[in-house]
Structure 1
Amino acid sequence: MSVDNGGSSQSRDRIGAGDAVIIVDHGSRRQESNLMLNEFVAMFRDKTGYPIVEPAHMELAKPSIRDAFKSCVEQGAKRIIISPFFLFPGRHWQQDIPSLTAEAAKDHPGISYIVTAPLGLHEKLVDVVNDRINHCLSHAAGVADECEVCAGTGKCRFN
């Protein structure tokens, strides 16, 4: 899903100057969950070196896609890459995120954007899930601390 909103027609296959990334999740009523997206965005920015990376929540929390889009433009973005932080394609990826992004783009003529695929079936996700399982089992066995996600929740134990 890509839209040229009157911006540069230059085709590039890599992030460059004038490009920004918005990582968008669903959003939660739990502030702790929303803050985790900020942490992920900081990790992503540090690891990739991309100059403009902003978090956005599709609903229930701020910043919204509109807020993040505006922030990217204010930082000098000419192209914006919307990366859904969702596992699989569904209604949010098919309809909601493209619609919310199109609405945000109306305020910024000349800025093009693209919505990337969700995480989907990726081999690296197998490693992430396996790592979570092994860490949780290690904690339940008393040989590891709780992970940062489960800390204080009592979730990493057998019932």
Structure 2
Amino acid sequence: MQQLAGKISQKLRSYPARDTNSSVVSTLKHELSVGTASLEFASQPLHSQIIDFARNAASKGCSCLQILPLFLLPGIHVMEDIPTEVSQAKAVLGEDIVINLQPYLGSHPGLEGLVANQLCINRADATILLAHGSRRQSATILIEQISAKLGLVTAYWASPPSLESQVTDLFSMGCRKINVVPYFLFAGGITDTIARTIEKLKLNFPTISFQLSKPLGASAEIIELIWDLMER
């Protein structure tokens, strides 16, 4: 996330200042601030992180703060938790600074193209698009749509169908070269566990050749999608 924030900051500095009605930056010659915050595993709740960052930005002349959720699915966090935290921050800050909650990253149609690029890199009999999943059934519609357009098999880490069950089905259909594309933004504990799971699957299905793609990461393509969402 820090690498991503740094690259976004560089991109902001390369652009001329906008007028005061712009959704990106005002005409004030202030230091452009880009930061990160976490909904979980942080020393402060998200609304406190937002308040601290907003006050620091306002002290440098910023009049508008953009918040872009780095989430790929419209689950509970995107649809309920984050809006609640942002509302709490707004209630404390009042009119000191305008706060805009932008669309979550996964809502950008360009993500389908990034997944398609993975298919060009690794050729296989079948490709499994492995997403986290959500308690909100509607959150998986996006994944199902991408899979349908690109001819992929869908699996979820936190809900069925699982990676293991989809591999079993593909094996029974005669697939012997399977590509697994993790629909995750960054590497972390879950992607490490996915890699270990695939190693176990190799033992259970020794005739299958598995290929595991990398998460989307802080790529130039992701930065362009974030930039586009910030300007909406």
Task: With the length of structure 2 as denominator, give the TM-score of the two structures.
Answer: 0.44
Higher relative contact order (CA 8 A, sep 6+): 1
Q: Distance in 1 between matches of 2:197 and 2:141?
A: 21
Q: Deviations over 1:86-111 (max 9, x none)?
A: 111111112x1123334444443311
- Percent identity between the two aligned chains: 25
1:23 matched to which residue of 2?
129
Partner SS for 1:55? strand
Q: Which of 111, 126, 130 is the aligned partner of 2:223?
A: 126
* Contact 1:78–1:111 under 8 Å retained in 2: yes
Once the two structures are superposed, residues 38-71 of structure 1 have per-residue CA deviations (whole angstroms, 9 ceiling, x without a partner) of: 11212333xxxxxxx2111011x21110122123
Larger radius of gyration: 2
Report the Cα distance in structure 1 between the residues aligned to 2:200 and 2:157, rounded to whole angstroms: 13
Provide the C-alpha distance between the structure 2 equivalents of 1:126 and 1:102, rounded to a whole number of angstroms: 32
Aligned to 2:206: 109
- What does residue 84 of structure 1 align with? 182
Higher relative helix content = 2
CA contact (8 A) 1:69 1:105 kept: no
Give the paired residue count: 112
2:122/2:211 contact within 8 Å kept: no
Alignment map for 1:1-159 (pairs within 5 Å): 14-16=122-124, 19-45=125-151, 53-59=152-158, 61-94=159-192, 96-134=193-231, 137=232
Is there any run of 5+ residues in structure 1 with no aligned partner, and where?
1-12, 46-52, 138-159
Task: Give structure 2 stretches of 5+ with no counterpart.
Answer: 1-120
Residues 84 and 99 of structure 1: CA distance in aligned 2, closer, same or farther (over 3 Å): same
8 A contact 1:82–1:115 mirrored in 2:
yes
Change (3 A) 1:128 1:74: farther
Deviation (angstroms), 1:129: 1.7
User: Structure 1 length as normaliser, TM-score?
Assistant: 0.61
